[in-house]
Amino acid sequence: MSTTPLPQADILNLLPDSVCAAFCTGKDWTVEACSASFPKLAQRLETASDPGQKSGRAEHKPPLSLLAFLRAHAGQEAADRVQKSTPDTPVPLCLPCGTWTLAWRWLHGEGARQGKHGQRFLVLHESTATEKTAEARLLDQELHAIMDSMHDGVWVIDSEGTTLHVNRAMKRIANIEPAEMVGKSVSVPVLEGKFSAAVTLDALEQKKIVTRFDDYPNGTRCLNTSTPIFDRQGNIWRVVACIRDITELETLQRRLADAERTALYQSNALSLQPSGERNLVGNGKVMRRCVAELDKAAKAPSGILILGETGTGKTHAASYIHQKSPRADGPFVAVNCAAIPSTLMESELFGYEKGAFTGASKTGKKGYFELADKGTLLLDEIGELSLSMQAKILHVLDGQGFRKLGGERERRVDVRVIAATNRPLDQLVGSGRFRADLYYRLRVLSISMPPLRDHPEDIPALMAVFLDKACTRYNTIKTFSPKVIECFSKQAWPGNVRELRAAVDFLVAMTENSVIAMRDLPSHLLGDAADMPPDDAEDTPAAAGEALPFREAVENLERALISEALRDTGSTYKAASRLGISQSTVVRKVRQLGISVAEKKRHCE
């Protein structure tokens, strides 16, 4: 057999050594013509099978039968696979010299379609010649793996608008099966109602980056940025869409805004609560004993019940306890139970979930217990709570947690509860208007705030503190005459400290003179002082002389308070903060009271 009789031979011999081609007929695939690379392949196979053989042997001839050739070099199983293969179907073959792939098709004869007669044309090519294709395929797989690992959606189309790749994130974002979209026009999901419009098509038509918001039927809102990719000729090759689910971002933004509002609320709540240490003014025996009890209570972890008449400073006492306790770095939240309607009490104390009732915030709301987590919650006027609300508070105090209004999950918080009231809870328990178990739970530590009439010696100091604050608020400078201080010190003050502070504010705001005298006092502030000397008598030397002992008492008290504050704090700034007055007032009082320079230095060191 020769390779020259057939006209195809010249063409076959143009093939490289890595490609073998032949024309075959019959059941045994008899070779009628083949490329010159076939004998070279036979030589390579012989050398690979016996590496120790010597070169220079006779030239190999083309195979007579392809199947026989395969049986000899690839085995019977390989020959059978080729014989049973169908046209245009690649058949991989493991030969001693490497991996090759065979494919064939019919050329002539209707009978060939029945597998009996006709001519086959086959190509056997070395697979190592396609390593670059394999590398490209691997890179493509890696690229797809990277895109599938992305949190954002990715949609790739070609220049015809056909979808080439959709990553897995689109299943989560738009409930789309990626495999169902590949190979289809990107307009298909639009027609199916999955999208309102295809941003990738807009980028394809406009030949520029297009960014737009998309709202999907499943409620997801996305930011879609489609970017065209151009080839060297300036034609669009691909369009890549990056689809970001901003529904999640909006949710995070809402949560952040809620957290910021909560932090602001807590900050405002703290700033609105006066400092207990600054406002527990008094150096008398009664107040010193009261402060000592508050100091002890601050160190204990249990709840506290503060009793006292209206205006005795129960809120200030609770704030003082918080500042002195291990929870000082946490929030201090004060709630006036009498100021909240009973219908809103549960939602205010425990909060509510979104949609809990008509008009509820879409994001829900935190209650006071949750806002006071890791801190202290003051329930002022607790005697005004309904019995049902008392039971829920007892449930929380017993460590059982609470549920938000409209919620199902039980929550627990780390809160120290301080209760305060001006009502006799023991009598309310006896009449059935206050739960006995809650009363016993609260009164583990009970502190009574003394009424102002029990420590009148502290009235001058309180007046000085309130005067300084009022002058700062009204941007003025005023002082009290000794007669007014003496008059106020003799009053009963049924409204206690709150009433005294209101009286000082009234006088600073309404009087014109820099010295507030007896003549400036309205009748309801005179009390039992109607028999005191008239206003003009205050300006006479005799009156001044008569008032001197009391004035000295006030000065001595101020000197003692300021000296003690300087000794404990070490600076005029900290002393002013402790006393609740301005630093300039401390400096002025130091000069007025004759504290020597050496004494000031000793205090401030």
pLDDT of residue 213: 85
CB burial of 434-465 (b: ≥16 within 10 Å; e: otherwise) equals: bbeebbebbeebebebbbbeebbbbbbbbbbb
Q: Are residues 403 and 474 in the same domain?
A: no
Q: Are residues 280 and 385 in the same domain?
A: yes
| Confidence grade of residue 156 (pLDDT, cut at 50, 70, 90) | very high
Which range marks the domain in which residue 327 is found? 276-450
| Confidence grade of residue 241 (pLDDT, cut at 50, 70, 90) | very high
pLDDT of residue 228: 93
The more confidently predicted of residues 259 and 142 is 142
Of 273, 276, 320, residue with least CA distance to 298: 320
The CATH number of whichever domain residue 37 belongs to comes to 3.30.450.20
List of E strands, 416-476: 416-421, 446-448
CB 69 within 8 A of CB 63: yes
pLDDT reading at 387 higher than 80: yes
pLDDT reading at 337 higher than 50: yes
Instruction: Provide the token pair at 465.
Output: 């503190």
Lowest mean pLDDT among 43-52, 161-170, 233-242, 247-256: 247-256
| Confidence grade of residue 601 (pLDDT, cut at 50, 70, 90) | very low
CB 178 within 8 A of CB 168: yes
Instruction: Provide the token pair at 355.
Output: 């949609």
Lowest mean pLDDT among 22-26, 56-60, 500-504: 56-60
pLDDT reading at 397 higher than 80: yes
CB 495 within 8 A of CB 502: yes
| Confidence grade of residue 147 (pLDDT, cut at 50, 70, 90) | confident
Q: Are residues 518 and 441 in the same domain?
A: no
Asked whether residue 595 is assigned to any structural domain, the reply reads yes
How does DSSP assign 536-603, residue by residue? GGGGSHHHHHHHHHHHHHHHHHHHHHHHHHHHHHSSHHHHHHHHTS-HHHHHHHHHHTT--HHHHHHH
Q: How far is CA 395 from CA 382, 411, 442, in A?
A: 15, 12, 13
Asked whether residue 30 is assigned to any structural domain, the reply reads yes
pLDDT of residue 270: 39
Average pLDDT over residues 130-156: 79
How far apart CA 297 and CA 291 sit, in angstroms, is 10
How far apart CA 329 and CA 132 sit, in angstroms, is 66
The sign of the torsion formed by the CA atoms of 322, 327, 333, 336 equals: negative
Number of domains making up the chain: 4
Q: In the β-sheet with 163-166, what is the strand arrangement from edge to edge?
A: 163-166, 153-158, 236-245, 221-230, 210-215
Of 228, 243, 213, 219, residue with least CA distance to 153: 243
Asked whether residue 142 is assigned to any structural domain, the reply reads no
Q: Are residues 319 and 426 in the same domain?
A: yes
Q: What is the dihedral of CA 302, 306, 307, 309, to 10 degrees?
A: -170
Average pLDDT over residues 268-273: 38
Of 168, 370, 112, 408, residue with least CA distance to 263: 370
pLDDT of residue 1: 46
Look-up: residue for tokens 């503060």?
Answer: 306
Q: Are residues 115 and 95 in the same domain?
A: yes
pLDDT of residue 297: 92
How far apart CA 353 and CA 355 sit, in angstroms, is 6
pLDDT tens string 415-458: 999 999 999 999 999 999 999 999 999 988 999 999 999 999 98
Asked whether residue 254 is assigned to any structural domain, the reply reads no
Instruction: Quote the percentage of the chain above a pLDDT of 90.
Output: 28
Q: Are residues 418 and 494 in the same domain?
A: no
Q: How far is CA 26 from CA 23, 65, 71, 105, 602, in A?
A: 11, 10, 17, 13, 121
How does DSSP assign 16-27, residue by residue? -TTEEEEEEETT
Query: Residue 123: which residues within 8 A CB-CB, separation 6 or more?
Result: 19, 20, 21, 102, 103, 104
pLDDT tens string 513-570: 888 889 888 888 876 655 555 554 444 333 434 444 556 667 777 777 887 788 777 7
Q: Are residues 125 and 155 in the same domain?
A: no
The CATH number of whichever domain residue 346 belongs to comes to 3.40.50.300
pLDDT of residue 306: 95
Which helix (DSSP H) or strand (DSSP E) does residue 456 occupy? none
Q: Are residues 354 and 395 in the same domain?
A: yes
Average pLDDT over residues 384-398: 91
Bridging pattern class, strands 98-108 and 119-126:
antiparallel
CB 165 within 8 A of CB 147: yes
The mean pLDDT of the chain is: 80
CB 237 within 8 A of CB 218: no
Q: Are residues 424 and 464 in the same domain?
A: no
Give long-range contacts, CB 8 A cutoff, 24+ apart: 407-416.
Answer: 407/352, 407/353, 407/356, 411/370, 413/369, 413/370, 413/372, 413/373, 414/373, 414/374, 415/369, 415/372, 415/373, 415/374, 415/375, 415/376, 415/377, 416/301, 416/303, 416/325, 416/327, 416/375, 416/376, 416/377
Look-up: residue for tokens 């949190």?
Answer: 151
Q: Are residues 241 and 343 in the same domain?
A: no
Look-up: residue for tokens 């502190």?
Answer: 447
Which residue among 65, 94, 129 closes a domain?
Answer: 129
Angle between helix 583-592 and helix 572-579 axes, rounded to 10 deg: 100
pLDDT tens string 83-118: 988 898 888 888 887 788 899 988 865 455 555 567
pLDDT reading at 149 higher than 80: yes
| Confidence grade of residue 4 (pLDDT, cut at 50, 70, 90) | very low
Q: Are residues 407 and 286 in the same domain?
A: yes
Asked whether residue 143 is assigned to any structural domain, the reply reads no
The CATH number of whichever domain residue 589 belongs to comes to 1.10.8.60
How far apart CA 16 and CA 101 sit, in angstroms, is 15
pLDDT tens string 214-224: 888 887 888 89
